[in-house]
Structure 1
Amino acid sequence: MCVARPSLVIALSSIASVLLAAWASAAEGSDRPDKLAESYRLIGHYQLVSKLRVENSQAEAVVISPLRYRVYSDGMEIRVYVRSSDEDSYTAYNIYRADGIGVAKSSGELEMVAGVQAFNTEGKMLRQISVTRNSLTMVKTPPRSHRVIITRAKAIPVSDNTTGQ
């Protein structure tokens, strides 16, 4: 019977932890935007699920293309990155609430889940975002308009993200 030495087990465990951390960092690092400050951490990757235009009390689905969002935060700001033609662009949102987001259960009850809410008012367009571990919801309200655009995305594993999108 072979008995493992405690010091050997600890050493192998430490090496495995370092390698896993390096692998996770490399996976995120290869996809991390070039000029993003180190203070920003990856919140998650999200796949576009639906886009609705609400106008005159009616919701109309908008045709969507496959789109993936990469979301980062420094605790004060959320940045939502999209890659197009091998170039990253982002929209920044100022966090105004970080104590949870109300989500409706199937029973109709409201449940608080961990998440943040933020806003952006560039170009006189009001943009609001809610981010949780599982979903991303963006709402845009153009100036002088009765139209609202609601974009929903679901979380995807980092390994499912392709750099071409």
Structure 2
Amino acid sequence: MADMFEFLISVDLRDELSAADVEELRWHLGSGEAPEDGFRIETGVRFAIEGEDGEPVLLDPEPLLGAHGPAWKIGGMLDANLERTSAGWHLEARQEVHVETLQEMTELMLWLYRRVDLGLVGPDGSVELARLRWYEDAESTPLMVRDTHVFWPR
């Protein structure tokens, strides 16, 4: 059994993204270089390995939404894109995400929430930012974000 989710996001972002924001977001989508002046959104997934002295060594971060090509468990293809539109930016991604990675994605989801097109914000301040589907399920569930909280599925 695998603890994999299909993660789908298709969201409009406001026009106010800076060049540094776009650069870092493109890195998270696997289509750009790591920011030269360091990460501001979130560092991505970091894996620790055991060093020669037995102490853990952190490897370089990996993009959070950077997989491209065939999916391992959910079928189909994985991709991620950020495109300029007449009203701002559009982010679209289909990724295969392990359950242990969800918490590491929290900062990126909160960062996106703070920049989402205001027309997507509900009366209670929440946004359906993405959809998640456990790989064996037929139905997906909404990923809701409000204020400083991401409501990950259980």
* TM-score w.r.t. length of structure 2: 0.25
Larger radius of gyration: 1
- State the structure with bigger RCO (CA 8 A, min sep 6), 1 or 2: 2
